[in-house]
Amino acid sequence: MPTKEKIKTFPELEAIIVSKSSQIDLLVVGGGPAGLTAGIYGARAGLKVLIVEKALLGGQVSSTFMIENYPGFPNGIAGQELTQQMEAQARRLGVETSWGNVSQIKPGKNSFTTYVDDKQIKSKAVIIASGADSKKLGVAGEDHFRGRGVSYCAVCDGPFYKDKNIMVVGGGNAAIEEALYLTRFAAKVQVLHRRNKLRADKMLELRARANSKIFFVWNAIIKEITGEEKVTEVLVEDTQTKKNRKVKCDGIFVYIGSSPNTEFIKDTIKLNKAGYIKTDAKLQTSVPGIFAAGDVLDKRLRQIVTAAADGALAAQSAKDFIEGSV
């Protein structure tokens, strides 16, 4: 009697797709949504992919409480859960990961050498998906009180501010989303913005305005952060009258945007004035074989969904480059 052919399950099929080569085809710098998606698409295209990450896989999204605008999750999804799922998907497809700081990428004749701490890793193509880090205010007391009243992560530190009086600096989506999140803990959340109009989406603004714990301080910037053991007060300047006043507060959450992690590549590829990477429509940088994806790109909309789309396109372009079809 002929034996029934066993139906292959999803992981078994993928194991066939993933390259068994010991040489890295595609090295991805950064394991946020852009890097993980590049890994998923690269592996499915049969490439041996290594993602090098300096901190946590998932990037900034991992510390975002709730994502409400990534398609497929009508009730939203926790940032950490979303990135854990992306990581699991990449690993299932055979994507490898390594931890370390990338200091340089050197283009060679037929390969690239990436310097990761004291290791050198060769690959046929590279995708830079190194993202962006939180911008600092650059005022006196900010570094001194970091972790003692100054924070850049509401999800990490919000629970320490139960019934406290806190300040969120910034007027973008991140500031307003995190201010809303912080109302779970704090008694009062003052949103301090340098203009009198928010940059954040209207929907978020309406939600914040309707929240009885949130107060807006318009046309204001922080000049100094003071305290003893912990933050107790900030010096606030009115940007119109230039008058300063002291405001009592227990904590300051800074959400004034981010700056790209491109220091390690700034002498190798073209960047714009602000340090973001310039690419062509296929996401290839000024050096053939080096591609870029996600928040590190010179682009208008920095979202998880656009980072994922960039990762897919960059991986496809890297595959074409490796196969000599670009």
Enzyme catalytic residues: 153, 156-157
User: Measured from the CB atom, is 14 or 205 closer to ligand NAP?
Assistant: 205
DSSP state string for 245-266:
EEEE-SEEEE-S-EEE--GGGT
User: Measured from the CB atom, is 20 or 202 closer to ligand NAP?
Assistant: 202
**Taking CB under 6 A as the rule, does residue 171 contact ligand NAP?**
yes
| Nearest CA among 181, 158, 175 for reference residue 216 | 175
The stretch near ligand NAP (CB under 6 A) out of 110-118, 141-149, 298-306, 318-326 is: 298-306
177's enclosing H/E stretch is helix 173-182
Give the separation between CA 204 and CA 77, rounded to whole angstroms. Answer: 17
The percent of the chain in helix, strand and coil, each rounded to the nearest 5, is: 30, 30, 45
In the block, tokens 């972790």 appear at: 147
Distance in Å, CB of 181 to ligand NAP, minimum:
11
Tokens of 111: 């390969």
User: Measured from the CB atom, is 180 or 318 closer to ligand NAP?
Assistant: 180
Binding residues for ligand NAP restricted to 253-282, rule: CB under 6 A: 255-258
Distance in Å, CB of 44 to ligand NAP, minimum:
28
User: Measured from the CB atom, is 161 or 255 closer to ligand NAP?
Assistant: 255
The stretch near ligand NAP (CB under 6 A) out of 7-15, 36-44, 234-242, 297-305 is: 297-305
Tokens of 165: 């009086």
Distance in Å, CB of 302 to ligand NAP, minimum:
4
Distance in Å, CB of 88 to ligand NAP, minimum:
23
Contact by Cβ (8 Å): 85, 58: no
Residue of 53, 177, 250, 310 that binds ligand NAP (CB under 6 A): 177
Q: Which residues of 281-305 are buried (b: 16+ CB within 10 A; e: fewer)?
A: eebbbeeebbbbbbbbbbbeebebe
Binding residues for ligand NAP restricted to 206-245, rule: CB under 6 A: 221
Give the separation between CA 315 and CA 42, rounded to whole angstroms. Answer: 5
The stretch near ligand NAP (CB under 6 A) out of 1-9, 17-25, 172-180, 315-323 is: 172-180
Distance in Å, CB of 60 to ligand NAP, minimum:
9
Contacts of 153 by beta carbon, 8 Å cutoff, 6+ apart: 63, 253
Interface map 180-209 toward ligand NAP (x if CB under 6 A): --------------xx---x----------
**Taking CB under 6 A as the rule, does residue 69 contact ligand NAP?**
yes
Burial category of 253 from C-beta neighbours within 10 Å (exposed 0-12, middle 13-18, buried 19 and up): buried
82's enclosing H/E stretch is helix 79-92
Q: State the number of binding residues for ligand NAP (CB under 6 A).
A: 20
In the block, tokens 């100054």 appear at: 150
The amino acid sitting at 27 is L
**Taking CB under 6 A as the rule, does residue 58 contact ligand NAP?**
no
Which residue's Cβ has the minimum distance to ligand NAP? 172
Distance in Å, CB of 150 to ligand NAP, minimum:
14
Residues across the chain: 326
Kindly list the residues in this chain that would bind ligand NAP in the complex (CB under 6 A).
69, 169-175, 177, 194-195, 199, 221, 255-258, 301-303
